[in-house]
Amino acid sequence: MSFMKSLRNQKLLSSTLLVFTLCTGIVIGTLITGSASAQKSQGVKDATPLTIPSPTELSTAFTQLAKQLEPSVVYITSSYNPRPERQSRMQRRTPQPDDEDQGGMEFFRRFFGGQDPFEGMPGGGGNLPFRRQASGSGFVVDKAGYILTNYHVVSDANRIQVKFNSDPTEYSAKLIGSDPETDVAVLKVETGKPLIPAKIGNSDGVQVGDWCVAIGSPFGFEASVTAGIVSAKGREISGQEHQLQRFIQTDAAINPGNSGGPLLDIQGRVIGINTAIATESGGYQGIGFALPINMAVNVYNQIIQTGRVSRGSIGIQFQATDNPALLKALGVDHGVVVSQVQSGGPAEKAGIKPEDIIIALNGKPVKDGDDLVNRVSMTPVGTEATLTIMRAGKRQDVKVRIAERSEVFSDLPTFRRFRSGEEEGESATTAKFGIDIRPLSQAERTRLDLPQPGVLVDNVVPGSFADDIGLQRRDIIVSINGKDVASVEDVQRIQATLKPGDAVAFRILRGGGQGSARWQSLFVAGTLPQDQQ
């Protein structure tokens, strides 16, 4: 019994000690926590609170330049659906180095099976054209809405849209004219208000080492500003197909989407149009190229004054690379050695032969091939010029009449491609809403078991208003803005009441098949753009 009693006392003592230890731990923990909280709430005395100063502008030349040009630089998107008859020509198109085109060079032909427009319902339209989109930049040069950009940004476009920074509206733009040889295009946009044009500089005054700034929309990031220096002038890109392009080279960051945007001097004047990049990765690698603004201005002035670009030629070809040893061996220190004479061209008619050396034009020495091309191309077509040549060591003057370059070299791919585009009539369609419609006969309505009258959408123009809002071939339009449609005349009457900026809602039937239950009643709607009604 004594042993059992001793054991009970020992257990009681152990339990008491355990409870005491736990209570002590809780109290100590509380004291430590309370002490830490007290220190935290009291803060520290040897630190000074940070303050945010009043906002101030850290003004630099680049800051002012960016603010000055921001209203003038635009973001351009162009969309197009290759037509079957244009496919082979477009597949030969050489993609520009700065062409932000996400679709590659693959095109889809469009086929419709059978004569019955309802064949294959429901579903249908599986082989409709695949719309491609390209984007780039541009800048306003006239308050009336004229914009300069690269031709490759808008070439083959069914629809061109322009967006200004800080303005959510996308304005439809019209292609006024273009020049594939210099990769320049002129657009016009109607905004209903005067625009702020960029200041034009003189690219002849640009020097290697000058500061320069590029503004554009690389990868769609609007109004992006980058700075660098002019790293070279008169740069020829190896493999380019246009003889007239000699670029300003810059290390200002230029990426896909910058195409068509301005290259500026430190005074905010445009000295070039950002056109291409040298890259192995598809992005910026330190070398970008801008077309000198003096050349672009000449193209622009011709387009707005005459509607086209006319460029003089004498019809010769020569070795592009300068070779002082060749000239020295032939007894001259400057000039252009003729390597080929174009059949039927002005030079052949004037008696110019291969191996002749052209040393002067109208009495002024010709330095090299670039000098000759620039001066001849700027000479009005039809003008008689005097060429001074060296032939077999003898000097003589030859009269030659300047001809149109596109006619003299009509077999060049550039001019063939441009002419074929004009012949195919690439101007925007005049179709209302961008759809072709036709009435439904009573027999068709009965066969299709249509639940109500309507008109059939027989075709949707790619890139049109109708295409944008989702109308499809084989849809049945039954009402527009709540007004019933039973005939083509009904559609035309409703159209006549609409103007750009109006909202338009179509109620359509889509699907079809066995019985009216297969037809789906849907609404498609949008706001009429400026150039379509």
Question: What does the alpha-carbon distance between residue 285 and residue 98 come to, in Å, rounded to a whole number?
Answer: 12
Q: Is the separation of the CB atoms in 66 and 198 below 8 Å? A: no
Strands 184-189 and 170-179: antiparallel
Identify whether 167 is a catalytic site residue.
no
CA distance to 19, 99, 113, 459, per residue, from 436 (Å):
92, 33, 18, 5
Beta strands in 50-208 (DSSP E): 73-80, 100-101, 132-142, 146-150, 159-164, 170-179, 184-189, 199-200
Question: What does the alpha-carbon distance between residue 441 and residue 48 come to, in Å, rounded to a whole number?
Answer: 87
Identify whether 242 is a catalytic site residue.
no
Q: Is the separation of the CB atoms in 254 and 288 below 8 Å? A: yes
CA distance to 242, 339, 358, 414, 530, per residue, from 319 (Å):
14, 7, 13, 20, 50
The residue behind tokens 């990426």 is 255
Strands 483-484 and 476-480: antiparallel
Question: What does the alpha-carbon distance between residue 124 and residue 488 come to, in Å, rounded to a whole number?
Answer: 23
- The residues that bridge with 439 in the sheet, in sequence order, are 455
SS3 of 51-91: CCCCCCCCCCHHHHHHHHHCCCEEEEEEEECCCHHHHHHHH
Identify whether 334 is a catalytic site residue.
no
Residue of 152, 251, 313, 464 marked active site: 152
Question: What does the alpha-carbon distance between residue 458 and residue 437 come to, in Å, rounded to a whole number?
Answer: 5
Task: Give every CB contact of residue 485 below 8 A, 6+ residues apart in sequence.
Answer: 453, 454, 455, 477, 478, 479, 491, 494
Token reading at 247: 């670029």
Residue of 79, 224, 259, 377 marked active site: 259
Residue of 156, 183, 356, 467 marked active site: 183
Active-site residue numbers?
Answer: 152, 183, 259
